[in-house]
Amino acid sequence: MSVDITALNERIKEESGFVLLLKSEMGKVIVGQHRMVERLLVGLLTRGHLLLEGVPGLAKTLAISTLARVVDTGFKRIQFTPDLLPADLIGTMVYNQKSGEFVPKKGPIFSNLILADEINRAPAKVQSALLEAMQERQVTIGDNTYHLQEPFLVLATQNPIEQEGTYPLPEAQVDRFMLKLKIEYPTREEEREILARMSRGTVPDVSKAISVDKIVSARAIVNEIYMDPKVEEYIVSLVFATRDPASAGLAELSDLIEYGASPRATIFLTRAARAHAFIRGRGYVTPEDVKSIGMDVLRHRVVATYEAEAENVTPEDIIRKVFEGVEVP
């Protein structure tokens, strides 16, 4: 099947025009953190959930709440704590005295953008309550199942410093997140700008940049972005190199990887690369798109061995070597 790349390129340039406006509105509140803003947009365009990790005060919560205002969609913030119950998240059945029946009382999960703040503070049964919502986009209360309204996106944060009293996310749940971002400190210039903007105690106003209908149509267009079979093969080679590094000529990594990335990584890396190209107004995916987004897709899917930990080798170190070792088409 032949693809008219020129015509597709022109269409994508036109359809992605809202990206600059969205970034501009986000930039009124969020200083720097361009990568985080882009990744939030990638999640929005691909229906992919995000896990944000960073020390307190790096605008993780502010970025997500600002995105909800710019998109003008439903937003709920859930603070995860050790005493949180699944019913606090998804809702429960309550007795209606007038009708003499039990009726569902829906929880905060019934919104569009869900901020699961410090997700590792709540026990496993609460974390698992998110699984059905994240994967199936539905929630079961009592005997009834309720579908969640699109767009539905879980944006979770976790603090890497204080691990006392926390409950590490199980691998099955971590794998449900399309991207895991590590949020870094701002630069000195950005810190000065933060001081100038935020020291007065007011958050700048933002305008609606995109409608929900536009997001839905943009998602369909992202799926049409052309990916050459060689780029598809490159993605498969990267994922397979995390499972069997020796076959990729990276035998030195064999003793450092306990578990490689699952097929979900292949799917998510493909979707994320297409969204990355869309954000840049291109109708085709390049290997650079894959490399730019690859670390955020793979870092939480590669489990290092005890030997790697003893040598202070992190999953990020392993993934960098994979990208260096796998031939680029």
Residue 258 has pLDDT above 80, yes or no: yes
Q: What is the pLDDT of residue 165?
A: 54
Whether residues 202 and 87 share a domain: the answer is: yes
Do both 165 and 296 map to the same domain? no
Under the banding of pLDDT at 50, 70 and 90, the label for residue 142 is: confident
- Given 212, 239, 266, the domain boundary residue is 212
Within this chain, do residues 229 and 128 fall inside the same structural domain, yes or no? Answer: no
CA torsion sign for 89, 135, 295, 163 is: positive
48 falls within a domain = yes
What pLDDT does residue 27 have?
A: 80
Where residue 201 falls among pLDDT bands split at 50, 70, 90?
low
The count of C-alpha atoms lying within 13 angstroms of the C-alpha of 273, restricted to the half-sphere facing its C-beta, is 24
Label residue 270 by pLDDT band (50, 70, 90): very high
- Model confidence, pTM: 0.86
Residue 327 has pLDDT above 50, yes or no: yes
Instruction: Evaluate whether 18 touches 41 at the Cβ level (below 8 Å).
Output: no
Give residue 1's pLDDT: 46
- Nearest to residue 14, comparing CAs of 178, 217, 198, 232? 217
9 pLDDT above the threshold of 50: yes
Kindly report, residue by residue over 52-64, the tens digit of the pLDDT.
Answer: 887 777 777 788 8
Average pLDDT estimate for 265-279 = 93
Mean pLDDT of 1-5: 64
User: What mean pLDDT comes out for the span 238-248?
Assistant: 89
Instruction: Please tell me whether residues 108 and 185 are part of one structural domain.
Output: yes
Last residue of a domain, one of 212, 240, 256: 212
Query: Is residue 183 situated within a structural domain?
Result: yes
**233 and 196 co-located in one domain:** no
Whether residue 104 is found in the same domain as residue 167: yes
Residues 166-183: what's their mean pLDDT? Answer: 79
pLDDT digits (tens, 9 = 90+) for 74-102: 888 888 888 888 888 888 888 788 887 88
Contact indicator for 264, 48 with CB cutoff of 8 Å? no
Q: What is the DSSP letter of 284?
A: B
Which among 191, 212, 233 is the end of a domain?
Answer: 212
DSSP state of 226: B
Residues 6+ apart with CB under 8 A from 118: 79, 80, 157, 158, 159
Instruction: Determine the average pLDDT of the residues in 213-239.
Output: 89
Q: CA 122 from chain center: how many Å?
A: 20
Going by their DSSP bridges, the two strands 153-158 and 49-53 should be labelled as parallel
Residue 77 maps to a domain: yes
The alpha-helical segments, DSSP class H, found in 142-262 are 171-174, 188-198, 212-222, 229-243
Mean pLDDT of 201-210: 75
194 and 141 within one domain: yes
Residue type, 316: E
Residue 156 lies in a domain: yes
- Position with higher pLDDT, 268 vs 25: 268
> Is the pLDDT at 2 greater than 60, yes or no?
no
The letter for the amino acid at 2 is: S
Number of domains in the chain: 2
User: Is 13 contained in some domain?
Assistant: no
Are both 141 and 59 inside the same structural domain? yes
Determine, yes or no, domain membership for 7.
no
- 190 and 233 fall within a common domain: no
| Average pLDDT over every residue of 128-154 | 83
On whether residue 271 sits in a domain, the answer given is yes
CATH number of residue 278's parent domain: 1.10.8.80
* pLDDT at site 151: 83
**Is residue 197 located within the same domain as residue 100?**
yes
CB atoms within 10 A of CB 20: 12
CATH at 75:
3.40.50.300
Same domain, 306 and 263: yes
Residue 309 tokens, joined? 């930990």
Residue 233 confidence class, pLDDT cut points 50, 70, 90? very high
Q: Which domain holds residue 295?
A: 225-325
Whether residue 14 lies inside any domain: the answer is: no
Task: Say yes or no: 103 and 251 in one domain.
Answer: no
Pairing mode, strands 177-182 and 75-79: unpaired
Structure confidence at residue 122 (pLDDT): 81
